[in-house]
Amino acid sequence: MNTYRNEPADTRSMGIVHSALRRDLRRTHMVLESPPYPDESRRRALAAHVLWMCRFLHRHHAGEDAGLWPLIRKRNRTAGALLDRMEADHAQIAPALAAVEGAAQAYDEDASARGRLLTALSSLDDVLLPHLRREELEMMPVVAATITTAEYRALEHEYFVKPKGFVELGMEGHWVIDGAPSDDRDAILSVVPAVPRFLILHGFARRYRRQAALRWGTGPAASVPALHVTPIKERS
């Protein structure tokens, strides 16, 4: 029996992933903006991580465009305008991502491209961060009201899990839960079966920590937690 068959979609994973993206964008700014600037090994590790985040975002948005948004559009006719906005956001974000990719590749080759990368990241923040906020606060409640948790998890598996290898998923899992509060960590790990969960937690932890230490060092960037979106309180 599927305990999630009729349960409104639990979309917490979307916000948890977004919080990891916000966290590492903040960390990247901090490392690039504050001297001492990265030496060659840190510079290359940071550039590689920025490129990985760009690829992650491309695939994340492609999965939404191919799987999640069409299902919501089919099931919920009132969601059309908001879905149009989500797709328009993705179209606006794509060139900003391409600019970051080009700047990160240049930074990997030459430390003098640090300013170019910072500029590209700031331009990405301008279009990405409002989109992430809008998706969490406006779109996800519509998703929860339209499909079930079982359907949402099936889409997650088909578009965000199945195309990736075990090693990639293991490292991605540690990236998502890095600095996350215990409730978020439990929410992410609860959807992974016991044996793979054990392998992810214990088989990739050292490798992830080593790579993270190279990127962020021991300064303030290393301590940035997952950054959750905060709803704007209405004025009384």
Q: Is residue 200 part of a domain?
A: yes
pLDDT for 2 equals 44
Residue type, position 38, single letter: P
Q: Is residue 5 part of a domain?
A: no
Residue-averaged pLDDT of the chain? 92
pLDDT above 60: residue 129: yes
Closest C-alpha to 153, from 195, 187, 178, 204: 187
- 208 in any annotated domain: yes
Answer yes or no: are the C-beta atoms of 229 and 15 closer than 8 Å: yes
Domain assignment of residue 119, given as a range = 12-223
Question: Residue 8 forms beta bridges with which residues?
Answer: 148
pLDDT greater than 90 at residue 188? no
Does residue 175 form part of some domain? yes
For residue 229, is it within any domain?
no
Q: Decide if pLDDT at 236 tops 60.
A: no
The answer to the question of residue 209 being in a domain is: yes
pLDDT for 3 equals 45
Q: What is the pLDDT of residues 87-114, one digit of tens each?
A: 999 999 999 999 999 999 999 999 999 9
- In terms of Cβ atoms closer than 10 Å to its own Cβ (0-12, 13-18, 19+), residue 90 is buried
Minimum mean pLDDT range among 75-79, 135-139, 226-230:
226-230
Query: Could you give the 3-state DSSP secondary structure of residue 148?
Result: strand
Cβ atoms within 10 A of the Cβ of 13, count?
18
In a domain? residue 233: no
Domain count, the chain: 1
| Whether pTM exceeds 0.85 | yes
Q: Is residue 178 part of a domain?
A: yes
CATH number of the CATH domain containing 212: 1.20.120
- Tell me, what amino acid is at 41? S
Helix (H, G, I), strand (E, B) or coil at 8: strand
- Identity at 27, one-letter amino acid code: R
pLDDT at residue number 200? 78
Q: If you average pLDDT over residues 70-78, what whole number do you get?
A: 97
